[in-house]
Amino acid sequence: MRAILKDFFNYLRVERNLSPNTLDAYTIDLQRYVAWLTERNISHPAHLKREDLTNFILELYRIPLSRRSIARNLSAIRMFHKFMLGEGYISEDIAAVVELPKLGKYLPQTLDIPEVEAFLDLIDTDTDLGLRDRAMFELLYGSGLRISELIKIRLPELLFSSGVIRVLGKGRKERVVPLSGESIEWLKRYIARSRGELAKKTIKGENYLFLNVRGTPISRMGVWKLIQKYVQLAGINKDVSPHTFRHSFATHLLEGGADLRSVQEMLGHASIATTQIYTHLDLDFVREVFTTYHPRERKKFL
């Protein structure tokens, strides 16, 4: 089954030209699926029954995952089964009738401020990797970066004297994003104490900021696995991904009084309509702002 899965990923990479983020997500989703089947001694897709697929779908709802994550899992499974049918591994596509959950309007998952603090504070900064992780997640949350931007940062793009970082975003558009005081402090500690130790292990790290245990640039998957580790340790019962920190960054800025246009610039959104979704996240906060500032709401009848 794992050999078939490898062929499928090669197909996605070469023929479907999916983005690295989508490939990473599908890899995680389908590895979970195949591991679940293997645990039940289903070693070949021809032995898979509708009942098995139904039980796995029920397992997804029990994990728990968000409806959006479940929809992505099921989409990956349907695509995988369609591929296996086309390649002759199976004679019937039992996943073709699987329906995706209705999502409605998408409101991104966020962490509240105490959850962010719990996540960051439990990282053991007495180790080189722990210090790297603290600096990395302070930056991910403190500057609202995309995961693709975070892993490509090089040392010259950190401008500590100006308190900013240069980021190459979507469409190779460069923007300048402020660094938080906490980010600056932890990044300086990491660079001074830990990065050099990691860089000694290979010459391939070049001047990338965040390196893995082998001294090469950390990957999307590496960051995702670290998030799952720390989320579990912090007891956070949410479906958290690297993008959750970006969503939280934007939400907390707006809740703190930042204007939408400034947040748009920091996030690197081409359209302010993309940023506006964050105004729908905290309905209690939105109502409080309306009550406080709208002239017709403030007016009292005597």
Catalytic residues: 146, 170, 243, 246, 269, 278
Spatial strand order in the sheet of 174-178? 158-159, 164-168, 174-178
- Contact in structure between 211 and 223 (CB atoms under 8 Å): no
Question: Which residues are CB-contacts of 202 (< 8 A; sequence separation ≥ 6)?
Answer: 214, 215, 216
Report the phi/psi class of residue 144: left, alpha or beta, with left for phi > 0 and alpha for psi in -120 to 50.
Answer: left
Torsion of Cα atoms, 68 then 243 then 225 then 123, to 10°? -130
Helix (H/G/I), strand (E/B), else coil: 177:
strand
- Cβ neighbours around 264 below 10 Å, total: 19
Question: Which residues are CB-contacts of 119 (< 8 A; sequence separation ≥ 6)?
Answer: 111, 137, 230, 231, 234, 236
Helix (H/G/I), strand (E/B), else coil: 208:
strand
* Nearest one of 189, 193, 214 to 203, comparing CA atoms: 214
- Contact in structure between 151 and 209 (CB atoms under 8 Å): no
Helices (H), 144-239: 147-150, 181-190, 196-199, 220-234
Helix (H/G/I), strand (E/B), else coil: 33:
helix
In angstroms, rounded to a whole number, what is the distance separating the alpha carbons of residues 215 and 158?
19
